[in-house]
Chain A
Amino acid sequence: MATPTVTVALNAAVYAPGDEMRLTVTYSDTDTCPATVTVVLTDVRGHSSAPVQMTAVIDPLTLTVVDDSGRAWTKLSDNGAVADYRAVA
């Protein structure tokens, strides 16, 4: 099992009070991959249901963002590789 990787970037180093702050988190894990499970139910007479698909993630990742000044960071988007967060300076 691989160890995940993460990098972060703030959109500035210095903010004025009240500024919107944006944090971009880029993360990955070589083990992590999406999977699709397809289920078809077949009875004893050989009649099959329509296939039903479900998605799952193998070795899913969870992100946590902690700010030691107590600012709350709100997740704006997350596509599984890049997540954007927002806070107010």
Chain B
Amino acid sequence: MPRVTVTVRDSGGRTATTTADYQVGSPVLGGYYLSGNGNPIADLAGGNIRSLTQYRSFADGYLFPGWNKPWLTELGAAGMKINMVLELKHYGASHARGQTFRVNGRTYTVPAPAMTIQQRPGTTWPRAYGYGQVLSGQCDGLFARALAQYQEMGVGVNLQLASELDTDHEFGTTEAGRAYSWAESDARAVAALTYIVTWFKARSLPAGTTFSVGAGGFDRACYQRTHPEALMAKLDFLQWNVYATSATHTALARFRRTKDWAVADLGPIALSRPVLIAEWGVRSAELPDQAAWIGTVPAAVAALNAEQGPRIVQTNYFNSGWGRLVPKDAGLAALKLAYTTRPYV
């Protein structure tokens, strides 16, 4: 850490000296996600894209690097920073049943996921392994399977537990026939995610492994409930997602919304952690000139990082869903241009 030493000396040679330490951070990592966990290598060409988000369900048999995803190991080995979102959410209803499998010679039986999340009225509620199931050890086999594959992959990544707890809990959850409110679901998730982080940290992990928990960051009270100091002490990053979905949304306002809540509400351990933006995007329906909006992001991130509070160190563009680049070529060109601008270089 660089240090400035200032000395004041009077005419008689008497002196007073003091120091101030500072850090010069690395450039912010400009990152990407391609729809469907797709192979992004063609899209990365010629761009300063240095981080990548991926999504996996603990229910799947192939988490690391993933089914037909040897390119993820190659990218990681080449220095790409990978944010691996690991979800208790089950991605498909058809095989949401119990599983029996072997890991390193030991047989595990894991029951069917017993919780529903994202209970938006009028939609089909996805299933997920319940927080109670996690805390009772019923999901340990899932973690053992993930760990074995991760060790085999051998590339350190950030393990982001859950994609967006606020999205998952917004309309409450139900586990084993019992309904839980949003706030109750948050408390149960904190306990379960603490269990999972503790489980992994007690075992041998590839060098460079870090942890975070996922949040959309759109609800202040939920963000506070899901970021207690005891959990943050086990985590390496704060995280939230950033979307522009209105013509009035500026990059600065959208990137700063959750930061302002965090600075106001969270404790010193949480605020000592840098920020990983697992997803950011601009929705073309309301902001058809996506390239122009993307072009305002570097200055917004630089401005936020010049303020007090946690620094944003990674921003991964979500080229899917709300962030889908239409047309892709223009959006990708704008993204690559943005990532060659301070604070990304």
Contact status A67-B302, CB under 8 Å: no
Contact status A61-B8, CB under 8 Å: yes
Complex contacts, B14 vs chain A, CB 8 Å: 1-4
Contact status B311-A8, CB under 8 Å: no
A14: Cβ under 8 A from any B Cβ: yes
Q: Give the nearest-CB partner of B23 in chain A.
A: A14
Contact status A6-B8, CB under 8 Å: yes
Contact status B6-A64, CB under 8 Å: yes
Chain A interface residue count, CB cutoff 8 Å, equals 39
A37: Cβ under 8 A from any B Cβ: no
Given contacts A10-B22, A12-B306, A16-B28, contact A5 B16 (CB under 8 A): yes
Complex contacts, B302 vs chain A, CB 8 Å: 16
Complex contacts, B3 vs chain A, CB 8 Å: 67-69
Complex contacts, A62 vs chain B, CB 8 Å: 8-9
A-B pairs with beta carbons under 8 A, tally: 115
Complex Cα distance A73/B342, Å?
Answer: 22
Contact status B343-A23, CB under 8 Å: no
Q: Give the nearest-CB partner of A60 in chain B.
A: B11
Complex Cα distance A71/B311, Å?
Answer: 23
Tell me how far the C-beta of A24 lies from the nearest C-beta in chain B, rounded to whole angstroms: 10
Q: Give the nearest-CB partner of B345 in chain A.
A: A17
Contact status A4-B15, CB under 8 Å: yes
Complex Cα distance A3/B16, Å?
Answer: 7
Complex contacts, A27 vs chain B, CB 8 Å: 8, 16
Binding site for A on B (CB under 8 A): 2-12, 14-28, 302, 305-306, 308, 311, 342-343
**8 tightest Cβ-Cβ pairs between the two chains A and B:** A69-B2, A6-B8, A27-B8, A16-B343, A14-B23, A4-B8, A6-B16, A3-B14
9 contacts between A and B (CB under 8 A): A1-B12, A2-B10, A8-B6, A9-B20, A16-B25, A16-B306, A17-B24, A31-B10, A68-B2
